[in-house]
Structure formats: C-alpha cells, structure tokens
Amino acid sequence: MKQTFPAFKSSKEAFACLLLLLFASTTIAQQRYTVSGYVRDAQTGENLIGAAVFDVKSGQGTTTNSYGFYSLSFTAADSVAIVASYVGYARQSLKLRLTEDLQYTYSLQANMTSLETVEVVAAKEEKIEETTRMSTISVPIEQLKAVPALLGEVDVIKTLQLLPGVQSGTEGASGLYVRGGGPDQNLILMDGAPVYNATHLFGFFSVFNADALNHIELVKGGFPARYGGRLSSVLDISMKEGNMNEFHGEGAIGLIASKLTLEGPLKKDTASFIISARRTYADALARPFMKKDQGVVGYFFHDFNAKLNYRISSKDRLYLSGYTGLDKFHSRYENTYVYDNISNYNKDKASLDWGNNMLSLRWNRVLNNRLFLNTTATYSRYQFDINIQTESTSRNLTEVMRESSSELLYLSNIRDYSIKTDFDYLPNPNHYVRFGTQAIQHQFRPGAIQVTDEGNGDEINDIKEGSKTAAVEASVYVEDDVRLSDKLKVNIGARLNSFFVNGASYLSFEPRIAARYLLNDRLALKASYAKTSQFIHLLTNSGIGLPTDLWVPATDLVRPQRAAQYAFGAAQTLFDGQYEVSVEGYYKTMNGIIEYKEGSDFTTTISNNWENKVTAGKGWAYGAEFFVQKKVGNTSGWVGYTLSWANRQFAELNYGEKFPYRYDRRHDISLVLFHQLPRNWNFSATWVYGTGNAVTLAESRYIVGQNETLDHYSSRNNYRMRAYHRMDLGFSKRKPKSWGEVVNTISLYNAYSRQNPFYMYYGRGKGSEKSTYRQVALFPIIPSFSKSFKF
C-alpha cells in the first residue's frame, strides 16, 4: 500500500477519524419546527442556486444548495418573517406563527431583463464577510454575457480570466492557470460530469455555451471537502433546467458562429427541456476563395447541450443532461508537375479531430425537512484522432515508374464512469452538514498508432497499440459549516481518497478547514487550509491545451500529485452592501508534478513506456490578491490585482535548479466595467495588464561546421517577454419587439491594437539589421458584430 499522506498508520484510522467527525457534527440538539422547500424563478420555474433565506427577527439564515433547496429550524413556536432573496430578483417574505413543520416554495420575480440592465438591485444575501468560504467567486450569467467578446463569441473562461489569481496563459487562449497551477489541475464540472478538454479552436474558445448555463462558481482555494481530485481549482457549472411554464428561445448570429437555444415545458409544472446548439461556419465562408491548386484547409467546431427535468413528486426530481462537442481540422494538397519528361503527382491529406461527450443522470429527494439526497451517475469521454495520408505517383509516357502511399492514424482518449451520492443535512441554522461518497472507473489510452506504407509491390502495416490502463478512484467525505458564536464560523471537513491501478494502490487523507471571524458587522478576517491530491496527469508539450496533450494515470512508477494550500485574508462590504472588498494571501506547495524529459514529446509515448519519458518534480506558488466588486446601480463591475510567484524544480531538468514556471506572472491587473446608458444602450469595457511570460532563449550561438549552429542555454525560462496589456470595448442596444427582443452588439478586441507577444523566434535581420530574437503578435484590433434575440 503506497500511502500518499503518512499522517495515519492505516486506512482504518483515517476512516475512524472521518466517522468521528461526522458523529460530532450531527449529534446536536434537535429543533422543534422546520421550514423547508425551494427557491425558484417565478417565470421559468428554474431553481435558484445560492439564494439567501433568513428570518428577519432572529437573524438566522441559510442559502439554497445546488438544487435550490433550503431548510431552517427554530427552537420553539414563534412568529417568524422568513425572507428569500437572490441577486437580480425581488425579495419575497413569509410571515406566520410556527406551530408545526412547514414546506414552502418561494417564487421570485426577476427585476432585470436581459441586457437592459446589468444593474443588480440591492437585496440581503449572504454577504462576503458572513460566509466561511474564501477564494470563491460566482459570476452572474448576465454579467458574463455583457463582457466584450473576441469575434462576438461570449466565453465563460475568458471572463474568469479577468478574476484575481486566474491567468490566461497565452494571447487569446481559453486556458485556466490558477494560483501557479497547470491546466490539468482544474476540476471542471458541467452538471457533475468532468470536462477534460474545455477548449475549441486550438484553445481560443471554450466549450461552454453561455445561453445554456444557469450558475457558475470558481473555487481557487479553501476547498470544501465535497470537492476532490485536483490541486488548483474547481469550476462548477450548472446547466439551465428548462422553462417549466412557457416555450422560449434565444440565439445569436456572429462573425464566425451562430447559436440557438430552445426551452419549454413538456408538461407544465412537471417536466421541461432545454436544447442548445452552436456551430462555426468559417470553413463555409472560406471555401469559395480557395483554389484547388493552392490546397484546401478547413476547420469548424460545433457543440450541443440538452437537458430534461422531471418532477416525479414534491420530494423527488430527475434530471438527464448531455453534451457533445467536436473540433475538426482538415487539409488537402494536390500537386502535379513534369520534370525531365517524368510526370509526378503528389497528394497529401491530414485531419485532426477532438471532442468531448458527457452524460449526467441525477436524482434528488427530500428525505425529510432537514435531509436532502442527491445521486449522480455520469459518463465522460475525451478523444482526439490524427490521420495523415500521402500518395505519390511518377510515370513516363508509357508506364508507371513509381507508386507509393502511406497512412498514419493516431488515437488517444480518456473515459470515465462515475457514481456519486451526496447528503445535505441542516439540523439547525448553526450547522450545515454535507457528506457523501463517490466511485470513478477510469480508462486511459495515451496513444495507439497504425502506420501503413505501400510502394512498388511492398506493403508495411505496423500497429502499435498504446497501453489501455484501467483504474478505480473512490472517495468519502464529510464537512460541517458550523457557527460557533456570533463572531466565529468554521467550515471543517475531511476527504479520504483511494486509487487503484495495475496492482498499485494509493491512499490519501485530506483535512480541510476554513474559518471567518467578524471584527464588526461588516469586516471579517478569514483563513483556510486544504490538502489535496490528484491521481491523473496531463502530458503537455505546450501551455495552451492543444489536443495532443495526453491524460495518463498515476502508476507504480509515477506517483500522484499532491498539494497543500494556506490562505488568509480579510473581507468587507461598503456603502450599504454596494461594494465587496477582499484581500487574500496564499501559499501553495505541490509535489509529484510531471514534465517530459528533454527530447521527449507525445510521439514518443505511444508504447507502454511513457513513464520512462517523464520526470517528476515539485512546485511553489504564493502571492496576494486584491478584489473590489460593485454589484448595485447603473454602473457595476470589478477591479482585481494579483501579485504572485510560481516556480518549479525537477532533478532532471535545468541542472536540478529551481526555475520560474512558464506562467509565473509578477503583476496581473484587470478592470471590468458595465454601464447602463439611456434608450436601452449599454456599454462595457475591460482592461488587462500582466507581466510578460517566461520563455527559454539561447544566450549565445556557436557555428559548428559550415551550416550547423549550436545554441547555449544558461537556464530554463531565463527571459521575460514584454508586458501584456489590452483594452476591449463593447456597445449594445436592446430593441423590444412584439415577439420578444433583439440586441445588436458591436465590440472591439484589443481596441488600441497593442502588439502583444504570442511567441518568439530567432530570425535573420534585413539589410544591415543583425539576426536576433523577434516576437510574433497574434491579434491586432479586431472589430466584431453580433445580433442576438429572445422570444
């Protein structure tokens, strides 16, 4: 038994500690009367996640869970005034004298419509200084849609990149680099199913269609025990459930893609559906301009979301949701020429396909007015295929002199089956207990290759099957969000993980704790500690999430990744809750992170020996984050600043010396502004600034022989690109129609056309210019237009 964290001598001790924590959390005095139910959108019937439910008289309160469920208990029969509120909705109050348990569903009326207001009306909710959790941010969907977009494509991940502690990696990319971590260290969930590659267009767009989403939450640290399996962040995304009352639709037509979403009741107040589809048409637009003798290059992506929602009874509900997405790049080149009376014909074809398929089935039940059960079964698969074909023929006037053809087919995928059961137990307003268990069956295939070569009667057919590795991951967790006094509130929990692969096994016990202490009614100090482990790795040649990145498991030779993160800070609301201010410092250590050895890449990992092509090391990340957000009024937005350091160290790289991570960024600033103008006009703007990425450049070059050169590198990532900064602007006008509304949006990406570096290369100078390293900029100013509609 390989024990990842040696704090316990055996798994029995770890389980005993976990059960003791559960017992201590749940053996609390029983309350006499309980009010429970749901908080929903009055128009659509959608459950509202994270809505505040509180008693005005006693001040006791809670928030709805991921399915809109709440529960509040009171010690004796008394008069209560229980209010439900949610950002962007009118508050609703229930006043009565409690004499028995009561079930009540709140139906809140939205008080803002589409892009007519990004304004958020003030309402009492769980304030930033009241919640125990730190390093957690929820982004309203309407605000997300209002952020200026590249080529008119609203992008969830690009909006998250504007938050402190989150970096984009490279220009235009939709990757997430959170607090010094890599893209594989983010647990991305959509309706509970993991997303292994969240990008389209080689990393420039994400797979998430904002029109189909209901709730987005990013957790950067202080992870609750219910989340596990990754080191750096959790991105938890919930799809819309579908309108229970009326049929509606919305869509958009942009420069490179269009999308359409339809939703409505299958049976009013009982069953609903939502479907959403998006496709690019850049390939269709470019096709008429391509000549056959110049070759043909094409690319498109599409994705499709669907969800069914069925209320079996007042206590039971069933959800079925799915996603499929595909990127397809292909090229074809044909060439015919005559040389020395020999006619030569060449044909080259190449294709690269990658995509995700996910399915999630969830059943939740109110077991009683204080205990909520949710069971989720998921399927997730990510695959990419590479196919390269060549044909060549040479003939004279009478016969074929030479004829050959070859084909290379490369396949790689990861597939998961998972079952998870979660319980929410709310015995009284001072305790919110969550506990549950999960089992995942992984299958990894880092690569399988088939090479066929035929020529002049000879045939070679070489098949190298990559190793198909099966693994099982299992976990159990418990956590309690407990109020110890009026000033002190603590979220304490633990997670026990196990991983079994090819006869090897790993066990990790992960304590989690977060606390807040109120200095006064509006200012709180916060701190958290979380130990995490990760049993899968991503082998990557680049930092931008190309589809040639390979997912592989921990094995007996390659150990799991593990991390410990400490965070501390302060949070406060100002001006009657209009502004939220937070300051956080963090320190994170990582072990077991892997990189390719020098000279290795994904083409060398096809056979079973990929473990010999990598080296393991450790990393450190630390820094401070400052965040101010305004949620109320005609003008809203946020300002974020991050000061950070991120380093890596591998025994077999950089002479064993510590070096800066490629995305080590000392300073990162983001400003986001939304403003409502008269006559249904809206304005939005973002400005970002970041220290340049670290790159490895040769310090000297030697001439060896007549045409050979030898580069000398002193260390890894020894040079900084110049600083990155960019401004994006957006203007939109809403036009009400008899059947709905139309919104026309004009946006400018990189409004002042900053030549930001994408990569660097060594190039010869022109004329008298010396040869030197030169930078390549990717995007100048890019205007775009999109037309969206609702009905």
pLDDT in tens, 566-591: 999 999 988 877 888 999 999 999 99
- In a domain, residue 283? The reply is yes
Do 47 and 195 lie in a common domain? no
How many domains are there within the chain? 2
Do 549 and 421 lie in a common domain? yes
Q: What is the pLDDT of residue 106?
A: 92
| DSSP three-state, residue 351 | strand
Give Cβ neighbours of residue 509 (< 8 Å, ≥ 6 apart). 5, 7, 8, 14, 17, 494, 495, 496, 497, 531
Residue 545 pLDDT grade (very low, low, confident, very high; cuts 50, 70, 90): very low
* pLDDT above 90 for 320: yes
- In a domain, residue 514? The reply is yes
- In a domain, residue 122? The reply is no
Q: How far apart are CA 663 and CA 177, in angstroms?
A: 8
CATH number for the domain harbouring residue 179: 2.40.170.20
Residue 119 pLDDT grade (very low, low, confident, very high; cuts 50, 70, 90): very low
Sign (positive/negative) of CA torsion 334, 338, 339, 340? Answer: positive
Of 26-35, 215-224, 327-336, 741-750, the range with the lowest mean pLDDT is 26-35
Sign (positive/negative) of CA torsion 518, 523, 529, 532? Answer: positive
The whole-model pTM stands at 0.87
Q: In one letter, which amino acid is 487?
A: K
Do 473 and 606 lie in a common domain? yes
Q: What is the pLDDT of residue 173?
A: 66
Residues making up the chain, counted from first to last: 791
Do 168 and 35 lie in a common domain? no
Q: What is the pLDDT of residue 417?
A: 96
Do 94 and 145 lie in a common domain? no
* pLDDT above 90 for 111: no
- In a domain, residue 9? The reply is no
Say if residues 439 and 390 touch (Cβ distance below 8 Å).
no
Do 99 and 177 lie in a common domain? no
Average pLDDT over residues 608-627: 88
Do 95 and 145 lie in a common domain? no
Please give the structure tokens belonging to residue 164: 């402190």
CATH number for the domain harbouring residue 70: 2.60.40.1120
- In a domain, residue 129? The reply is no
Of 92-96, 404-408, 663-667, the range with the lowest mean pLDDT is 404-408
Helices (H), 207-354: 282-286
Do 653 and 756 lie in a common domain? yes
Read off φ and ψ for residue 618, nearest 5 degrees: -135, 165
Domain final residue, candidates 66, 90, 108: 108
Say if residues 667 and 688 touch (Cβ distance below 8 Å).
no
Do 617 and 547 lie in a common domain? yes
* pLDDT above 50 for 304: yes
Do 95 and 140 lie in a common domain? no
Residue 184 pLDDT grade (very low, low, confident, very high; cuts 50, 70, 90): confident
Q: What is the pLDDT of residue 6?
A: 44
Q: What is the pLDDT of residues 201-248, one digit of tens each?
A: 766 778 888 889 988 999 999 999 999 999 999 999 999 999 999 999
* pLDDT above 80 for 443: yes
* pLDDT above 80 for 754: yes
Q: What number of other Cβ atoms are within 10 A of residue 734's Cβ?
A: 20
Q: How far apart are CA 351 and CA 331, in angstroms?
A: 6
Q: Which residue has the tokens 């919110």?
A: 432
- In a domain, residue 123? The reply is no
- In a domain, residue 262? The reply is yes
Of 34-43, 79-88, 266-275, 314-323, the range with the lowest mean pLDDT is 79-88
Do 521 and 662 lie in a common domain? yes
Q: How far apart are CA 452 and CA 205, in angstroms?
A: 35
- In a domain, residue 125? The reply is no
- Is 446 or 755 the better-scoring residue by pLDDT? 755
Domain of 333, in residue numbers: 136-790
Q: How far apart are CA 39 and CA 111, in angstroms?
A: 16
| DSSP three-state, residue 603 | helix
Of 10-19, 334-343, 511-520, the range with the lowest mean pLDDT is 10-19
Torsion of CA 252, 253, 257, 258, to 10 degrees: 50
* pLDDT above 90 for 305: yes
* pLDDT above 70 for 4: no
Do 441 and 560 lie in a common domain? yes
Average pLDDT over residues 265-271: 92
Average pLDDT over residues 418-434: 93
